[in-house]
Amino acid sequence: MKISYAGICGSDLHIYHGSHPFVKYPRVIGHEFAGVIEAVGDGVSASRIGQRVSVDPVVSCGHCYPCSIGRSNICHNLQVVGVHREGGFSEFCCVPDSLAYNVPDNINAPAAAMVEPFSIAANMLNRTGASARDVALVYGAGPIGLTVVQVLKGVYGVKKLIVADRLDSRLKGALENGADVVVNNSEKELASWLQEQGIAPTLVIDAACHPSIFAEATQIAAPAGRIGLMGFPAETSSVVQRFLNAKELTVYASRLNNKLFPTVIDWMASGKIQPHKLISHRFDFHDIKQALNLFETNPMACCKVLLQFDEE
């Protein structure tokens, strides 16, 4: 495929700096991308040439235990495009036919590159479930947190949505993307603030991923609440089991996405989610160093930074 746009993600910075645990070099980075099919290999219908597609980066084996129970995103032999095989920060990329999902005309090229980041939110909320009865609390209003915010409001219509972050500029972004209430948890002690407000979240999503959050989430969650964990901190978290059992809390972990590209593409096509609200910058791909640097050093100014390879 000929790439049109690719998004920069936090994990790309780790690969760029050589601090990602799973990568072998050399590697073409990039797992959030979209473009147009330029040529096909043996066994793939030539009718696919010219189709506009977004690529699910999750490559699974199809025969291990997780694959056999429909959990292919945690396949034993998992390969992620842009991590274990060549990715989308390139003018051309070769991907498996089955992972190139057609994108309808009302989703433009930059939005098509946003399907993957939304698939992360889709998978998390598919794991926890969400409904109009939920009072949801999202930790972190960065790019991933904001995709969760948009899906919680636009798709699931949760009753009340609270977002906690340590940066006021990001909280402003949370309000613009559907949060009902925001709180700066570097200024206010979150547990007591929630108590003052009479808020007991039934669904807590950690998109900020500091190890202290998991422990706090078990304290503040309502009875029968669900907690969704998104990040990969390696530090120990001091969770008190009593909170889990006294309230019968359920904890869900989520990684990548489990075949949710068609779902996200439908949400986008029907206007339930707004990818353009999250795109803060676009760079010509020749300026990738500048783009990576901005994304890394100025989280106040950026949400999703896209590289542009080819204008459709």
Between residues 220 and 229, which has the closer beta carbon with respect to Zn ion?
229
Residues 224, 40: contact at Cβ < 8 Å?
Answer: no
Structure tokens given for 177 = 């993307």
Task: Specify the residue, 48 or 85, whose C-beta has the smaller distance to Zn ion.
Answer: 85
Q: Are strands 100-102 and 52-55 parallel, antiparallel or unpaired?
A: antiparallel
- On whether the CB atoms of residues 113 and 34 are closer than 8 A, the answer is yes
Beta carbon nearer to Zn ion, 100 or 194:
100
CA distance 117 to 51: 21
The one-letter code for the residue type at 153 is K
CB atoms within 10 A of CB 102: 14
Amino acid at 240: V
Give counts: helices (H), strands (E), the chain.
11, 14
Q: For Zn ion, which is the closer residue by CB, 36 or 230?
A: 230
Kindly state the smallest distance separating residue 23's Cβ from Zn ion, in Å. 14
B/e letters for 176-192, b = 16+ CB within 10 Å, e = fewer, are ebbbeebbebeeeebee
- The two tokens of residue 154 are 């636009």
Of 67 and 135, nearer to Zn ion (C-beta) is: 67
Angle at 50 between CA 44 and CA 56, to 5 degrees: 65
Q: Least distance to Zn ion from the beta carbon of 117, Å?
A: 6
Binding site for Zn ion (CB under 5 A): 9, 60-61, 64, 67, 75
Q: How far is the CB of 75 from Zn ion (least distance, A)?
A: 3
Identity of the residue, 59 or 164, whose beta carbon is nearer to Zn ion in the bound complex:
59
The closest of 119, 162, 159, 126 to 143, measured between CA atoms, is: 119
Tell me how far, at minimum, the Cβ of 310 lies from Zn ion, in Å: 21
Q: CA–CA separation, 54 vs 99, rounded Å?
A: 8
Q: Which residue is nearest to Zn ion (CB)?
A: 9
Residue 135 or 291 with smaller CB distance to Zn ion: 291
d(Cα 100, Cα 198) in Å, to the nearest integer? 46
CB contact at 8 A, 308 and 288: no
Give whichever of 141 and 194 is closer to Zn ion, judged by the CB atom.
Answer: 141
The least distance separating Zn ion from the CB of residue 178, rounded to whole angstroms, comes to 21
